[in-house]
Amino acid sequence: MVLLKSLFINAISFLIAFAVIRLLIMKNKEPYHFVDYFNLYGLTSFLLVCFYLKYLNDLTILMEIIAFFILFLFYLRSFDAATKKYHERFKITILSFGYSKKTYFNNFLSKKILMRGVEAFLFAVSFYYFMDKLFLSIPIILNPMIIIIPSILLFFTTIVKSSKINKTYRILK
């Protein structure tokens, strides 16, 4: 049952994120910059806290909604990263051959970003399933510091990863 719930929540957020990124590409817009914080480390950090709160306070429905939103932002960031990688390199070349934006997206770009999305999907399903099973199997309440310290460290990793190299270097210098 936990695996099916994980698959369902991830699949719905995956499909909605794909539809949103398609709409953004067709309108030549980009997602907001805070989406950059929902990379692999950000997903892990936010879901770790989310699952801890879910089983600590029995806020199941609220935390499932928050987890859905976190997964949506993770997929949106994953699709956006793939789009930037391929869109900047091949957009001019492929559109110069006479393709429209729609055929360019359907024939070329969608395949590239879906491959990145499937990779993100498999990771998110496995991590969601693991966290759900882990917190279900622990009969006692965990010390909050066991969850909060890794979450904070993962969030700082997200900030370092998503910031520009020069900014990070100046902060660490």
Share of the chain above pLDDT 90, in %: 32
3-state secondary structure of 92: helix
How far, in Å, are 26, 62, 141 from residue 117 at the CA level? 18, 26, 35
User: Could you give phi then psi for residue 28, rounded to 5 degrees?
Assistant: 55, 45
Mean pLDDT of 140-167: 79
Top pLDDT among 22 and 173 is at 22
Task: Identify which of 130, 131, 105 has the alpha carbon closest to the alpha carbon of residue 27.
Answer: 105
The stretch 103-124 carries a mean pLDDT of 86
| Higher pLDDT, residue 137 or 11 | 11
Q: Name the amino acid, one letter, at 19.
A: A
pLDDT for position 11: 95
Closest by CA position to 123, among listed 68, 66, 78, 62: 78
pLDDT in tens, 24-55: 988 888 888 888 889 899 999 999 999 888 88
Q: Residue 68's closest CA among 137, 15, 118?
A: 15
What pLDDT score does 140 carry?
Answer: 66
Quick check: 92 pLDDT over 90? no
Q: What is the pLDDT of residue 169?
A: 55
* Per-residue pLDDT at 160: 81
